[in-house]
Structures are given as C-alpha cells and as structure tokens.
Amino acid sequence: MAHEKFSIPENFTLAQSLQLLYSVVKNQYKNLADLIINSKGNKDTVTYGKIHKNLDTLLVYVNEGLRKIEKTYTLKKGLGNLVVDHPELRSIIEDFQILGQDIRIARRKAETLMAEGNGSPSLSSSSSVLGLGTGNGLRFPKLWRMGSKRDKLKEADEKEARINKQADNIRRARKLEEEKKLGAKLQYERDLELQREKLIELKVKEKVEFEVAQKLEEERVKREEEERKRREQAEKKRISTLKHERKTNYKSRASSTTSLPIANLLERLTTP
C-alpha cells in the first residue's frame, strides 16, 4: 500500500466514499493485526519491522484519503464539523477514530515485539499519528510528523494520549448505548413473554369456560330428555291405568245387567 492512493469512484456520495475508505483500511488493519498474533514467539525483528512500517503506511494512507475526501466534496469546515450538518455521518466518523486507535495499539505492539527481539528499548512515539482532535468538537484526523527532539516526542505522547482518551470515550459511550439497547430489547422480550403468558392464560380460561358451558348444556339437555321420558312413561302409565279402569267398569256393568233378569226369573218361580 506504500505507493497506493485512495481513489474515489465516480458518482460516489460523501457517505459512500467514507465507508469505502474505512472498509479498505479496516481490512488492511485486520490483516496486519493477524500477522502480529501469528508471529508471537518469533524473534525475527525484520518481520515486526515490516509490520510496524506497514501500519505507519496505513496511517498515511487513511489520512491522505480523508484529506482527499475533504477536498473532493469541498468540506471547508473539515470532516470534524461535518456532523453538525450531517449527524447521520457521526457513526462512520467515530468508526475512523476507533480504527485509528486500534492501528496505533497494533503498531505499539509491533514496536514492543521488535524491541524484544533486538534486546533494545521500545521505539519512541511513531513518526505518524492519526490525530483525533480534542475538546467538544470533532476536529478530524490530520497527519503530522515529528523529529527526534525530546519536546516533539513529548508532544507526540501527549497528543496520542488525548487521541486515545477520545477514542476510549467513544467506545465507552457505544458500550453504554449497546447496553441500553440490550436492556430495552430484554424488557421488550419480557413484556412480549408476559403478554404471551396472559394470552395463553386467557385462551385456557376461555377453553375451560367453554367446556364448562358445554358440560352444563349437555347436562341440561340430558335432564330435559330424562324429564321428557319420565312424562312419557307417566302418560303411558296413566293411559294404561285408564284403559284398565274402563275395561273393569265395563265388565262390571255387563255383569250387573246379565244377573238382573235371572234374579227376576228365580223370583217368579219361587212365588206361590
């Protein structure tokens, strides 16, 4: 990447250009960070020296890319003030700030490993830093170089400390925001589960009430049917009894009618 320059595709918007630059730098950083991890235990200072140089070059690349974006889109106030008019770009700008810190941390690690391999003290502050600004504003990264003078080294350390603090603040704010979102999500899920339980409880209640009502209706129909049969049996019995009584009365009257002439005849026969 030493001789490469960031190129902005035609018709790209400001947001697209920022995202493209970020993606390119992020991928390069991850590759170099992986090299540091995979090279642990290796005493080859040349390897760490190359990694350190590539990380430095990466910082140059991203700074030049950001300056090119500022120039291409005529951002007279700079990227740091962009969020005032375009708050939707705050996230990607903060991503650059965090990425800048990650690159510097990886570069410092490469310095340490290279120094351990040489058996010499770690290098001082690097020759190029992705500055992130201080104060309430978002004064965006600018590339600067320093010589070997002690005051410049001290200034670089102080600058890097401020940059790290700002990046840490962003990380902390994002973590709090993520925790807030997670808390809201968990609360939503709890509320949803509570509603689901209430719905199930209501459905169970409705089912029980329906079954009870159905059972009561069945019992009512059964009682009515039994009552109907009882009345039918009683009516049949009444009719049967009535028929029997009529038949008995008929026979009784018939018997009385037949026995009367015979009695008269006997009476005449026995009269002197």
Rounded CA-CA distance 254/35 in Å is 132
Residue matched to tokens 């990466």:
58
Determine, yes or no, domain membership for 26: yes
Q: Please count the residues of the chain.
A: 272
Determine, yes or no, domain membership for 115: yes
Eight-state DSSP code of residue 121: P
If one counts the domains in the chain, the total is 1
Rounded CA-CA distance 104/46 in Å is 19
| Spatial contact of 116 and 41, defined as CB atoms under 8 Å apart | no
Per-residue model confidence as pLDDT tens digits over 198-212: 989 989 999 999 999
In the predicted model, is pLDDT for residue 103 greater than 80? Answer: yes
* 102 Cβ contact partners less than 8 Å away, ≥ 6 residues apart: 29, 33
- Cβ-based neighbour number of residue 29 at 10 Å: 21
Per-residue model confidence as pLDDT tens digits over 12-58: 999 999 999 999 999 999 999 999 888 776 767 888 889 999 999 99
* 61 Cβ contact partners less than 8 Å away, ≥ 6 residues apart: 1, 4, 5, 6, 25, 28
pTM of the model: 0.60
In the predicted model, is pLDDT for residue 154 greater than 80? Answer: no
Determine, yes or no, domain membership for 253: no
Per-residue model confidence as pLDDT tens digits over 160-193: 788 788 888 888 988 888 899 999 999 999 999 9
Per-residue model confidence as pLDDT tens digits over 117-143: 665 555 444 444 344 343 334 444 444
Mean pLDDT of the chain: 80
Query: To the nearest whole percent, how much of the chain has pLDDT over 70?
Result: 77
Determine, yes or no, domain membership for 23: yes
Which amino acid is it at 166?
A: Q
Kindly tell me the burial class for residue 39, based on how many C-beta atoms sit within 10 Å of its own C-beta (0-12, 13-18, 19 or more): middle
Region 101-128: mean pLDDT is: 73
Q: What angle do CA 85, 128, 154 make, to 5 degrees?
A: 100
Signed CA dihedral, 231, 233, 237, 240: sign only = positive
CATH at 21: 1.20.58
Rounded CA-CA distance 186/220 in Å is 50
Question: Between 4 and 171, where is the model more confident?
Answer: 171
Determine, yes or no, domain membership for 240: no
> How much is the pLDDT for 261?
59
Look up the domain containing 49 and give its range: 14-145
Taking phi over 0 as left and psi of -120 to 50 as alpha, with beta for the rest, 135 belongs to: left
Determine, yes or no, domain membership for 70: yes
> How much is the pLDDT for 222?
92
Determine, yes or no, domain membership for 156: no
